[in-house]
């Protein structure tokens, strides 16, 4: 099989795997460790690249990165990311270092979840009391969509942080729920849990960002 045809076949197989293993039907509520939010373009692109990395098809992963939604978002959020993260992710793919590329992708996705937790905290402070539970639940769904992608990678690198993130998420989720015998949502406690989420994820991003000889001043923005 010619190289171009082989790459096309691999891309097709990767897309098929992502489609087959996509998230389950929308659940009534979240449950840490069991719930998976529906994919968006970024999370689907991440899964495609992860499948390609696991298949040791780094050339395919590079193509998925270069033309995918994740890289576009990475470029848009560059000011909030470790310096040079996009360039280092691409370089890792080019040199065939799947482990480094996967870590860089995990850093980016963790940063997305961190930013959402910060946005949720600010939004809840400005939201009418009767609407806070709904707003909080929507943010938690978006946060879990991303964190669920990298929970394994974070657990492998820093199990304490991974456990603390899950506990903070579960706590925030509990405060977001209303009805079914539960007390009304407590926005202040929900915000405190979201603040812990943002802090924990931010610490992971800062601690995990590698320094290369190409960008010795790499730091968190």
pLDDT in tens, 6-33: 444 444 444 444 443 344 333 334 444 4
Q: Residue 14: its pLDDT value, please?
A: 42
| Strand residue runs (E) in 74-156 | none
Cα–Cα distance for residue pair 101/106, rounded to 1 Å: 9
Q: Could you tell me if residue 63 is inside a domain?
A: yes
- Domain residue limits at 26: 3-208
Q: Could you tell me if residue 37 is inside a domain?
A: yes
Indicate the Cα dihedral angle 65, 215, 197, 118, nearest 10°.
-80
pLDDT tens digit string along 157-211?
999 999 999 999 999 888 877 544 555 567 788 899 999 999 999 999 999 986 5
Q: In the chain, how many domains are there? A: 1
Closest CA to 199 of 121, 111, 139, 114: 114
């Amino acid at each position: 099989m010619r190289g171009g045809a082989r790459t096309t076949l691999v891309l097709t197989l990767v897309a098929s795997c992502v489609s087959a293993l996509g998230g389950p039907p929308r659940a009534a509520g979240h449950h840490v460790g069991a719930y998976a939010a529906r994919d968006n373009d970024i999370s689907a692109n991440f899964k495609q690249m992860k499948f390609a990395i696991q298949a040791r098809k780094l050339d395919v992963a590079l193509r998925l990165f270069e033309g995918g939604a994740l890289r576009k978002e990475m470029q848009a959020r560059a000011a909030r990311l470790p310096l040079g993260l996009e360039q280092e992710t691409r370089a890792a793919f080019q040199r065939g270092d799947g482990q480094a590329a996967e870590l860089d992708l995990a850093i980016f996705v963790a940063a997305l979840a961190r930013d959402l937790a910060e946005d949720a905290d600010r939004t809840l402070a400005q939201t009418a009391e009767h609407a806070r539970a709904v707003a909080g639940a929507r943010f938690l769904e978006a946060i879990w969509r991303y964190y669920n992608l990298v929970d394994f990678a974070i657990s492998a690198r820093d199990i304490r942080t991974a456990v603390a993130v899950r506990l903070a998420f579960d706590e925030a989720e509990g405060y977001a729920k209303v009805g079914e015998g539960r007390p009304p949502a407590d926005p202040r406690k929900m915000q405190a849990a979201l603040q812990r989420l943002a802090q924990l994820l931010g610490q992971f991003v800062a601690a995990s960002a590698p320094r290369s000889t190409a960008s010795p001043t790499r730091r968190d923005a």
